[in-house]
Amino acid sequence: MSQHDGTPRRVIVVGGGPAAHRLADAIAARDLVDGSRDLDITVLGDEPHLPYDRVALSRRLDDPTADLTLADGSVWQHPAIRYRGSSAVVAIDPEARTVSLADGELLGYDDLVLATGSWATVPAIPHADAGRVYRTIDDVDAIVSEMLDLRTSLGRSPNVVVVGGGLLGLEAAGGLARLGGRVTVVHSGGWLMSAQLDEGAGQALGRLIKAQDIELALGTRPSAVTLAPSGKVVGVELGDGRALHADLVVFAIGITPRDELARDAGLEIGPRGGVVIDAACASSAPGIWAIGEVASIDGVCVGLVAPANAMAEVVADRLSGGNAEFPGIDDATKLKLSGVEVASFGDARALSPGALEVVYADPARGLYQKVVVSDDATTLLGGMFVGDAAPYTSLRPLLGRELPAEPGAYLAAAGAEPPAGGELPDDAPLCSCNNVSVGTVRAAASGDHGSHGEACTDLGALKACTRAGTQCGSCVPLVKKILETELSKAGIEISRALCEHFELSRSELFESVRILELTSFEQIMERFGTGYGCDICKPAVASILASQHSEYILDNGRGALQDTNDRALANMQKDGTYSVVPRIPGGEISPEKLRVIAEVAAQFDLYTKITGGQRIDMFGARLEQLPDIWRILVDAGFESGQAYGKSLRTVKSCVGSTWCRFGVQDAVGMAIELELRYRGLRSPHKLKFGVSGCARECAEARGKDIGVIATDTGWNLYVGGNGGFQPVHAELLAQDLDHDTLIRYIDRYLMYYIRTADRLQRTARWQEELDGGLEHVKAVVCDDSLGIGADLERAMAEHVDNYEDEWAATLADPERLRRFRSFVNAPETADPGVVQVRERGQPRPATPEERESVLIAGATIPRREAD
């Protein structure tokens, strides 16, 4: 509130992290509501950056240029709020109500908010100062720089030890593995995330992490960092007597509240550190508040987003004259650690008297789902999920309430579908980060809120209006579902926006790009998008451009839109090597070409396997070897099988009438024709075909996106099938077709699917969700009900006429070949950190135990001698 003399009340916030940002944002929001400007806010951060999202630090490991700034920074444009970076506070004087900065400046305050956060904890062991911590942008940037230097100087993948198997440790481990490190996680608990997960969930998480080639040393602590005489890190000694080879050590074992300013100023400090606060978030000194990780409430400091935001809202309300109180600690969390979903909420460990646990565990798949309920199995007390956290979104708002169905109905890993009956009550919490209820989101979506009464009819507006889903994002699916429900009730068309950067759906964007003949992501973003794009829209746009233009997919800046496999034109395997999969149309191959494959596999010592799609895979090629391998294959008449792309993979066939006494049509000839016609066709998801020469169905054509089965008078065409996690049988589209009609219908079907499907949507799901389903597809493809048949056929003909093999195009251009180097500064240098052993006469990746014995010895076994 303003002073009695009418001057604004001076508020200084010490700390430039997420809690400080939330406080400034909350104060700005109140200003916009009441129109007053009786507070003057100065936020002092000791980092040079604007407040950023620490939860997203792993993005900085993947992309050193990633901007992690919270929101859009507009709060710092408010006339009464300013942010000062690189302004470290070194002392507080509660009596004089001043703060001293490192440069000697003295600032007075009426209210002081401590939002100093925490330090990364470093264990008190010999030479710990030679390691690095994982806490700030500068920490991460330094780690990335050191990793690059190590790869160049060592000529191999650096060995990295990450100390800490909690949230930060696993994020760091995943990012360092993606940077090419051979990572071992050391954790004192018997399983990962032992402070948050029970043993079953921790074991499931450990299995998934190990599947990413990250090694685990559990139930032990580091006792010392080992240094060479030069001072270089060479290893880590463990408390159980083991020694790990290490070129880099990263500590991510927890946080220590940054409470030194408060200690020196005489404020009350909690038994485990942190500034003691009451329900109003006020400290023991008048006019001083504390929020976030530095605040100790009920003897606990919490390093989670939701409690920090709740504290910031309380202080913003108090500074504005209100009487809000901290509602208590909500430790619900949903994260994706190294690509693995982890979530928990409520009494996830079933500590309540009489609590029952309903558990589904599949150790082989790394899945664990648990719902905790009251002793009569009706009231939801908590939940814990690893590997598949889909139930979290629908269960979290029901905490403490009676479940509308049996608990097991929410265990998606066991194949159950969450019950659809009954809407969530308005007072159910939806977004724990920002303390937003279901009713708040529902009212905003329907227009029944505030003084304006205007409905938020798209996801972006709804998030901005309510703040739901703007922090961790785990509640966004439920926010979207509520929005769609309310819009449907109002008779408003539901938004099918591709993402927050594109208001158009994928199909709308596809048509717009096609009509305007746009050829680059920049052109598309300038015309239809906002911002810089994201992991959703970038690959989707890359796919759209690849489907419409028969051009090299990595040219003209498109390489940055692609994932790892497309950028390498090969599938990356678990040990960092790549697979080589030449196309073998219809499974037919000559002895001469078989001989070439054998010679290549022998020359480069590759593991070979015949796949279910009638091709020969060769595994274990290093990145710099791919051009040499493909040069031999291309010269022999092979081309890319595009096992790495969302495109046609294979056309499986039986021998048909050529050899089989039951065959009625030439299945091999048809399979070869289809594979050569549709090779390289980029689509929303991968495509597989099958051609069977009779009704005995030896090619399993009905388990494919396109299935062709011979009859006495022609061909039956089946569409929309697939194998995989959710197998679907293809459905009969048309029967007894002649050759030309069959090709015409497949042309139309594929191009209609490519133009109208959602991103990463398989033909089966697309077909199911079309209004009218298969009958609609029949009308469009067979009857040309939309009058676009000729256009779809022309589009396919353009693809066929302009097809170019991607590997042949790569080999013909020296500039394109520059991508295929393991080490930029030493392009011919192999990665000797790739350790393989021989099994059944072929090389395979070494197990963690096999690799550890090699690395501890301080040498790498040459691949051909690792028997």
Residue 130, classified by CB atoms within 10 Å of its CB into exposed (0-12), middle (13-18) or buried (19+), is middle
Amino acid identity, position 721: G
From CA 843, how far away is CA 23, in angstroms rounded?
57
Euclidean distance between CA atoms 854 and 849, whole angstroms: 9
Q: Which helix (H) or strand (E) holds 527?
A: helix 521-528
The verdict on whether residue 465 carries a ligand-binding annotation is no
Reference 680, options 643, 712, 707; nearest CA is 643
698 is in an annotated binding site: yes
Judged by DSSP in three states, 40 sits in strand
Question: Would you list the DSSP string of 214-282?
Answer: -EEEES--EEEEEE-TTS-EEEEEETTS-EEE-SEEEE-S-EEE--HHHHHTT--B-TTSSEE--TT-B
615: which residues sit within 8 A by CB, 6+ positions away?
Answer: 581, 582, 583, 584, 587, 641, 643, 650
Closest CA to 834 of 575, 570, 572: 575
Q: Is 610 exposed, middle or buried (0-12, 13-18, 19+ CB in 10 A)?
A: exposed
Which residue matches tokens 């504005």? 320
Per DSSP, which regions of 421-536 are E strands?
429-431, 436-437
**Annotated binding residue 456:** no
Q: 385: helix, coil or strand?
A: strand
What's the rounded Cα separation, in Å, for the pair 403 and 391? 13
Q: What is the number of other CB atoms lying within 10 angstroms of the CB of residue 620?
A: 24
For tokens 């990793």, the residue is 147
Cα angle 649, 654, 657 (rounded to 5 degrees) comes to 135
Encoded tokens for 232: 């270089």
Residue 431 in marked binding region: no
Q: Which residues are annotated as a binding site?
A: 654, 660, 694, 698
Q: Which residues are annotated as a binding site for siroheme?
A: 698
Q: Which residues are annotated as a binding site for [4Fe-4S] cluster?
A: 654, 660, 694, 698
